[in-house]
Structure 1
Amino acid sequence: MWTALNLLMAVLCVAVALWLRPWRMLRGPLFTPALASLVLLPWLWLLPQKMPQGLQVQLSGACLLVLMLGWPLAVLVLAGIAAVVWVVGQAEPAAVLQQWVWTGLVPATLALGIGAVMRRWLPPNLFVYTLGRAFLGTAAAVFLSGLLLEGLQWLAGEPARDLSLVARWLMAWGDAFLTGMFGAIFVAFVPQWLATWSDQRYLQPPKP
């Protein structure tokens, strides 16, 4: 059941992303962060395989990808990251598929939704982007993804793991710290690496 559900979600996300033709964005400055993500993030995703059994530290990076590349291109990059993890690592294909969906695609999609809500209801402010969308938005997206996975596993009758929600809560803040830090650095030094950033929107003077 899990493999079929994960495969369905992955195919749906990739189909929508391909329909939007995001590779056109690679002709500009986003080629560099996209390539860097394909090189660096697989090692972050391989970390649980390298740690002692029972100590599964998993960081996502998916929300940062959405900030940098936008959701459609982030989906395709996440597919490449999952492919590298499958080739280099020792995990079974079903485990890599689940990691791709629940560590990558679901947090990325939730981050897209949270970002849309913030753009709609919050003022276009620098701190709303860095502290709200990059930091708090990432924490919410990653934790909600883990909470949804735990809920589906409970509905499927799988045994609950001790302190799993506490661990997911703590790891969500770790992801939020990294995304918020890199988001603030990119805003300050290389804003062209952020597809979701706009000087006209976030740096405009307040209306009287």
Structure 2
Amino acid sequence: MAWILSATAIFLLGVYKSRNGVLMQPRLRNIFISCILLLALAWNVRAHLPNSNIDNLIDLSFHFFGASLLVALFGFWSAITLLFIVALVGVFGISGDLVETSRHYLLVSVIPALIACGVMKAVQRLLPKHLFILILGNGYLAAFVSTFATGLLIYGLQQYFQMTSFGTSDPLGWFLGLLVLSFMEGSLSGMLLAILLVYRPQWVSTYQEERYMNA
């Protein structure tokens, strides 16, 4: 029950915080629907790594999470609001388990989104304002760091609370698999962000043309 209450509270807070943001823009409505459906599909189309737990959605499997990319596109609060709907469609729609849905939402959506948001703010504050830096920082680096840090946190929780359903108990296997997963997440996020910045820059809320094109 704690998982469900926590997930619901964060979702409602996200709705409140983003009430005047990009989620209220009718021109982006089709984009939101597309993101929800594509991510829900991506969460369930996976190639499992060795020693992973195929019976649980929280495991080291070769697939795309997308939390960092949504933060880069729409901002943190809008991203976690959309990710809640993704979890309902992609997890609850398959398993019918609200606890599993809430746990997935909190551990592999909210936490990486929060870490990615922190990385993006650090990139914006510390690094030069160039388009390449934006793609590298908000696309690749934010996705890699958020995925890797979240994986370490999940493994730590598994060890501390003896949550064996989270995946493998092999530290080396977990670490190597996490590196592969993080590189894949970073590469896909960076590539997709670069494509969107070229063809649909108006969809990327972290992009300000006057700041990055005149630098």
Q: TM above 0.5, one fold?
A: yes
Tell me, yes or no, if structure 1 residue 32 matches structure 2 residue 30.
yes
Deviation at 1:204, TM superposition (A): 1.5
Structure 1: gaps (5+ residues)? none
Which residue in 1 is equivalent to 2:207? 197
Separation in 2, partners of 1:127, 1:113:
19
1:161 pairs, out of 169, 175, 185, with 169
The equivalent position to 1:146 in structure 2, one of 133, 139, 151, is 151
Contact 2:15–2:77 under 8 Å retained in 1: yes
Identity %: 24
1:101-180 matches, within 5 Å, as 101-158=106-163, 161-162=169-170, 163-180=173-190
Is residue 119–residue 137 contact of structure 2 (8 Å, CA) maintained in 1? no
**1:46 and 2:44 are equivalent in the alignment:** yes
Q: Which stretches in structure 2 are left out of the alignment for 5+ residues?
A: 55-60
Q: Is the 8 A contact 1:49 1:90 kept in 2?
A: no
SS of 1:195's equivalent in the other structure is coil
Change (3 A) 1:90 1:15: closer
Q: Deviations over 1:165-198 (max 9, x none)?
A: 2212211111111110010011111100111111
Structure 2 distance, partners of 1:115, 1:155, is: 30
Aligned to 1:10: 7
CA shift, 1:87, in A, is 4.2
AA at the equivalent of 2:7:
A
Distance in 2, Cα, partners of 1:19 & 1:110:
21
